[in-house]
Amino acid sequence: MMKRKTAVIFGIIIAAQLCLTPYAGVKVQAAELEEGQMFEDSSEDSETFGDVSIPDTQSAEKTEENEFGDDDGFSDGDVETFSAEDADQFRENMQELVLNVQDGEDITVKLNTLLAQARDKATDEKQCKVIVPPGNYTLTGTLHMYSNIYLYAEGATITKTSPQKEILLRLGDTPQKSAGGYEGYRNITIDGGIWDSNYECVEDKGGPGGFVGFRIGHATNVTVKNVTFLNNLKSHFLELAGVKNAEITGCTFRGYWKEFTGGGQECIQLDACMPRIFPGYLPYDGSICENIVIKDNTFEDVFAGIGSHSMMFDKPYKNITISNNRFNNLKKRAIWCLNYQDTVVTGNTMTNVGGGVYVRSVYTRNAHTVSGQEVSPEGNQYAENILIADNQITVLEPTVIDGKQWNGYGIWITGEVSLGSAGETIPSEDDDPENTANPTTNGIPAGRYIIRGVTARNNTISGNCDGIKFSLAEDCSCRGNTVRLSDSHTYNNMGISVAKGSNIRVSYNNLSGGNGYGIYAVGTEASQKICRIYGNTVSGFMKDGILASGLAAGSRIEHNRVSTSAANGILVKCIDKSVVDGNYSFKNKARGILLQRCESAMVADNFVSENAINGIELNIRSNHSSVQGNVCGSNKKSGLRIAGSKGISADGNSFRGNRGYAAEFIRSHISSYKGNRFEENGYSNRIHVRNSKISKK
């Protein structure tokens, strides 16, 4: 058993050696603080409302009881006392073992023998470095690594030639029960080499299952760097489960069997130690991954990039950093953050991908529990405290994947509604066919699993896709993003959409193009915190520039610039006490601003011009609302139209150059009408009154 002090020291040295990204939660908290400062004038106090790979052992392994506790035996240590110089000193003290092998030789037996020798020599204080010399080699079985080993293969090309669906590398022997949790293995480094999974050599490729490249579980202090992974078959190049403190950096992932388009097939999969999704690593205690850094890697011509498509119920993945990676030509999504907390996804470049970043609270169809675990919808089964920032995303045209229509997206942030025993989950981004678990069999309770505390900031998104989507989300922010959607549309793609959201802040985004809405924000009866749409620039959408409907009372649409929409510039429906203030809405093909069924709304200080119908219109019982201080100019019909509403005050507005009436009042009661100014409107600058009453105040 490793001494705790030594484990701490080695973990800190690894961090210094690899310049690990700072704690992800710090970046997210800083982003939240910045958002809070920007909007502190509008804060509210109201309440809120498996894997298809074949195991590397032929024998069935019995599921164990949960042995994973809260104390993982790894403390933070004193990081100030160590540096990269300490790491250099540590490397110099390594023992070295060099593989004696000829070019073209099968290295399976020899390398496993050398790794076993290293296992017996290595200690926490003095690691063992196993060197595979440059050359071309074959692999006909699975390699087995152990604690305190540094496997160095720079310049070597290792090609699988076995026809069996067996993994290339794992920790420990098979089968073998480790200490569990994060204590099974420690201090693992794999550095360099081209590792070719060579799916062409595998028999029955179309049959059940694929195989993983490297599978690493129950481990602490893991580094995989400068490795090239090639030619995956229906699974993952690198899979981690029950791993704490790991970094994957400088690696390249390329090539997959294109005749199979099912499943997740992430190049890097973060998983949990459970028998169906991560076989071969006893005990099956549900250990998840935390403190994982994935940076400066390249993914090209692969099915999917990084993430998780399975999860432990009430055990979220924690402190995940995905930064400065490059994704090119991906059939499906680049990143899937499933049930992640305290996570940053920053500075990544995604070109020609099916989807950019997918963040989801739970996926009940592939959620798991350990034996005897009590489940409740009130636990930690939600994603939160996540920052998605400064990513460049270009999305492919819509396509068909695994027989189903696939419409791309830049960023999708979503919760889930599960009906439990009814077995229905909503929404479903892609129900992977190999994920046979469902709420009728895995014991996941019915519930509304919302997503909280996600910030999408300063991302650039383009393509024939949806830009940024929020659904079943609360306390989230979407700020400073640029979305340029394609002119050739095959479905109603939108710039930013919020479905069933509460306290969502959409601000300073620049959106153009699209066959749907520019900003689409729709709440529910459970939305008890206001949403704010502020300072956005929206142009050229085929529906309304901004649609806000059913949000919490008092929601605000302010200081936006909306133009050239094929419908209304701004449409607000069914939001009591809504505030529409300081917007510039012009050259839209319907109205500049339209409110429907909005009680006690305030429409103030807006500038609306050159719209094809009216500048500002309130109708369908938008009672007791105020229209004041607006400038309505050069609209093709009237500057202002009030219809079917009562108790309206229309004061201090300016009407200039509208072709129809300056203002129209139809079947309405105007409680106050004073201080308005008229200049060069049609019909001799008149207002038009029909079946209406204007008070003489």
DSSP character at residue 681: -
Amino acid 529: pLDDT: 84
Directed axis angle between helix 4-18 and helix 84-92, to 10°?
110
Question: What distance in Å separates the CA atoms of residue 563 and residue 514, rounded to the nearest whole number?
Answer: 13
**Sign of the dihedral defined by the CA atoms of residues 363, 365, 367, 372, in that order:** positive
Question: What distance in Å separates the CA atoms of residue 564 and residue 587, rounded to the nearest whole number?
Answer: 5
pLDDT digits (tens, 9 = 90+) for 328-358: 999 999 999 999 999 999 999 999 999 999 9
Per the model's pLDDT, the better-predicted residue between 417 and 90 turns out to be 417
Specify the range with the lowest mean pLDDT, choosing from 35-39, 265-269, 502-506. 35-39
Q: What is the four-CA torsion angle of 640, 646, 652, 657, rounded to 10 degrees?
A: 10
pLDDT digits (tens, 9 = 90+) for 544-599: 999 999 888 899 999 999 999 999 999 999 999 999 999 999 999 999 999 999 99
- Residue 404, burial from CB neighbour count under 10 angstroms (0-12, 13-18, 19+): exposed
- Residue 358, burial from CB neighbour count under 10 angstroms (0-12, 13-18, 19+): buried
Q: Where does the pLDDT of residue 445 fall: very low under 50, low under 70, confident under 90, or very high at 90 and above?
A: confident
Per the model's pLDDT, the better-predicted residue between 658 and 431 turns out to be 658
Q: What whole-number percentage of the chain has pLDDT above 70?
A: 81
Per the model's pLDDT, the better-predicted residue between 69 and 529 turns out to be 529
Per the model's pLDDT, the better-predicted residue between 33 and 20 turns out to be 33
Q: Where does the pLDDT of residue 88 fall: very low under 50, low under 70, confident under 90, or very high at 90 and above?
A: low
Q: Where does the pLDDT of residue 431 fall: very low under 50, low under 70, confident under 90, or very high at 90 and above?
A: very low
Pick the closest to residue 177 from 242, 244, 112 (CA basis): 242
Pick the closest to residue 482 from 499, 463, 497, 467 (CA basis): 467
Average pLDDT over residues 649-655: 98
Does residue 364 have a pLDDT over 90?
no
Helix residue ranges per DSSP H, 44-196: 84-92, 108-121
Amino acid 577: pLDDT: 95
Amino acid 526: pLDDT: 55
Amino acid 263: pLDDT: 80
Does residue 39 have a pLDDT over 50?
no
pLDDT digits (tens, 9 = 90+) for 201-244: 999 999 998 999 999 999 999 999 999 999 999 999 999 999 99
Does residue 607 have a pLDDT over 90?
yes
DSSP character at residue 653: -
Q: Where does the pLDDT of residue 403 fall: very low under 50, low under 70, confident under 90, or very high at 90 and above?
A: confident
Q: Where does the pLDDT of residue 368 fall: very low under 50, low under 70, confident under 90, or very high at 90 and above?
A: confident
Strand runs labelled E in 508-644: 510-512, 519-522, 532-534, 537-539, 546-549, 556-558, 561-563, 570-573, 579-581, 584-586, 593-596, 602-604, 607-609, 616-619, 626-628, 631-633, 640-643
Amino acid 35: pLDDT: 52
Q: Which two tokens stand for residue 356?
A: 């950019």
Q: Which two tokens stand for residue 386?
A: 């996540």
Amino acid 365: pLDDT: 82
Per the model's pLDDT, the better-predicted residue between 379 and 16 turns out to be 379
Q: Where does the pLDDT of residue 97 fall: very low under 50, low under 70, confident under 90, or very high at 90 and above?
A: very high
For residue 624, which phi and psi values (nearest 5 degrees)?
55, 35
Amino acid 434: pLDDT: 30
Secondary structure of residue 385 in the 3-state scheme = strand
Concatenated DSSP letters of 232-244: EBSS-SEEEEEEE
Q: Where does the pLDDT of residue 98 fall: very low under 50, low under 70, confident under 90, or very high at 90 and above?
A: very high
Question: What distance in Å separates the CA atoms of residue 197 and residue 204, rounded to the nearest whole number?
Answer: 15
- Start-end ranges of CATH 2.160.20.10 in the chain? 1-39+84-291
Amino acid 178: pLDDT: 82
Average pLDDT over residues 315-322: 96
CB 587 within 8 A of CB 615: no
Secondary structure of residue 393 in the 3-state scheme = strand
Q: Which two tokens stand for residue 274?
A: 């459970």
Amino acid 363: pLDDT: 87
Secondary structure of residue 382 in the 3-state scheme = coil
CB 125 within 8 A of CB 148: no
- Angstrom distances, CA of residue 126 to CA of 91, 170, 187, 498, 500: 9, 22, 11, 54, 56
For residue 72, which phi and psi values (nearest 5 degrees)?
-95, 0
Does residue 505 have a pLDDT over 70?
yes
Amino acid 552: pLDDT: 87
Does residue 58 have a pLDDT over 80?
no
Does residue 633 have a pLDDT over 90?
yes
* End-to-end CA separation in angstroms for the chain: 87
Amino acid 36: pLDDT: 52
pLDDT digits (tens, 9 = 90+) for 163-207: 999 999 999 997 777 888 999 999 999 999 999 999 999 999 999
Question: What distance in Å separates the CA atoms of residue 269 and residue 48, rounded to the nearest whole number?
Answer: 33
Question: What distance in Å separates the CA atoms of residue 92 and residue 290, rounded to the nearest whole number?
Answer: 29
Specify the range with the lowest mean pLDDT, choosing from 47-56, 114-123, 572-581, 590-599. 47-56
Average pLDDT over residues 451-480: 96
Amino acid 70: pLDDT: 32
Amino acid 20: pLDDT: 42
Question: What distance in Å separates the CA atoms of residue 648 and residue 669, rounded to the nearest whole number?
Answer: 6
pLDDT digits (tens, 9 = 90+) for 272-307: 999 888 898 989 999 999 999 999 999 999 999 999
Specify the range with the lowest mean pLDDT, choosing from 140-154, 362-376, 448-462, 540-554. 362-376
Q: Where does the pLDDT of residue 383 fall: very low under 50, low under 70, confident under 90, or very high at 90 and above?
A: confident
The CATH architecture of the domain made up of 1-39+84-291 is 3 Solenoid (2.160)
Amino acid 491: pLDDT: 78
Helix residue ranges per DSSP H, 162-319: none
CB 416 within 8 A of CB 360: yes
CB 492 within 8 A of CB 515: yes
Q: Where does the pLDDT of residue 264 fall: very low under 50, low under 70, confident under 90, or very high at 90 and above?
A: confident
Q: What whole-number percentage of the chain has pLDDT above 90?
A: 68
Q: How many residues belong to the chain? A: 697
Residues contacting 88, CB < 8 A, separation 6+: 17
Per the model's pLDDT, the better-predicted residue between 486 and 254 turns out to be 254
- Residue 603, burial from CB neighbour count under 10 angstroms (0-12, 13-18, 19+): buried
**For tokens 């701004």, what's the residue?**
570
Identify the bridge partners of residue 128 per DSSP, sorted by sequence position.
Answer: 95, 149
Average pLDDT over residues 100-127: 97
Does residue 71 have a pLDDT over 50?
no
Concatenated DSSP letters of 471-539: ESEEEEEEES-EEEE-SS-SS---SEEEES-EEEEEES-EEE--SS-SEEEE--TT--S--EEES-EEE
Question: What distance in Å separates the CA atoms of residue 517 and residue 539, rounded to the nearest whole number?
Answer: 10
Question: What distance in Å separates the CA atoms of residue 418 and residue 415, rounded to the nearest whole number?
Answer: 10
